[in-house]
Chains A and B, each alone.
Chain A
């Protein structure tokens, strides 16, 4: 069985601060895919990134960056210089051979002006 743990329930920061969201996963499959999604108040899950188990290269996209470490089964997400528009619930998810997404509980990020 797959399991994704997001230990942080809520994070509140002031605009321009950096925010790091932790994600720890468990799976016995050697081939798997990790995802981050953003859920704004409108409810729609917005895809942010996908990473496969064979690619540990970190990635940066604008103010977003991701740190994938297989040794610690972690896939952490950092928002640099946060903005009010970053306020949302962020979900980490895992997919293996059965194709479904197993989600973490989500982290609510509140960015105050």
Chain B
């Protein structure tokens, strides 16, 4: 069974540009979570999508947005990139039942570098 897959592996952008990161959850999983792992800031929750809806959002500005498609894959968009957006972006998925206790399975991440 395939795990959570993320693309691209690496992404290099310049300040002010937009970045789009993609995530495919484990087959059968309906919830997708996004986390940012920036140097010195640790792992921070960004967004949670379930059944196509945004359910929860972390303490990030509106230029961080995303969506979830009917096949449960998800996209994270970061507009007006700033240097401090450079980080590893991790996607996780769960099955959607009893979410709080469910294990989140993670992908290998997309490393975004903003120059």
From residue A7, how far is it (CB to closest CB) to chain B in Å?
14
- Give a binary string over B77-115; 1 marks a CB under 8 Å from any A CB, 0 the rest: 000000000001010100000011101111111010000
Contact of A103 among B43, B55, B100 (CB under 8 A): B43
Chain B contacts for A103, CB-based, 8 A: 42-44
Task: Let me know if A97 is at the binding interface, CB within 8 A.
Answer: yes
Q: Show 5 residue pairs from A and B whose CB-CB distance is below 8 angstroms, ordered by the A residue.
A: A43-B109, A44-B106, A95-B100, A98-B56, A101-B45
Compute how far the CA of A98 lies from the CA of B50 in the bound complex, rounded to whole angstroms: 13
User: Is residue A105 contacting chain B, with contact meaning CB distance below 8 A?
Assistant: yes
Decide yes or no whether B58 CB sits under 8 A from chain A. yes
Q: Once the chains bind, are A99 and B109 in contact (CB under 8 Å)?
A: no
Please report whether the interface of chain B is mostly helix, strand, loop or mixed according to DSSP. strand
**Which A69-111 residues have a C-beta within 8 angstroms of B?**
91, 95-106
State the B residues within 8 Å of A (CB): 31, 33, 35, 42-45, 48, 55-56, 58, 88, 90, 92, 99-101, 103-109, 111
Instruction: Using known A-B contacts A95-B100, A105-B42, determine if residue A100 contacts B33 with beta carbons closer than 8 Å.
Output: yes
Interface residues in A31-83 (C-beta closer than 8 Å to B): 31-33, 35, 37, 42-47, 50, 52
The CA of A103 and the CA of B36, in the complex, are separated in Å by 11
Given contacts A91-B43, A100-B56, A105-B42, is CB(A44)–CB(B100) below 8 Å? no
CA distance A103 to B42 in the complex (A): 8
User: How far is B33's CA from A37's CA once the two chains are assembled, in angstroms?
Assistant: 16
Q: Is the CB of B45 within 8 A of A100?
A: yes
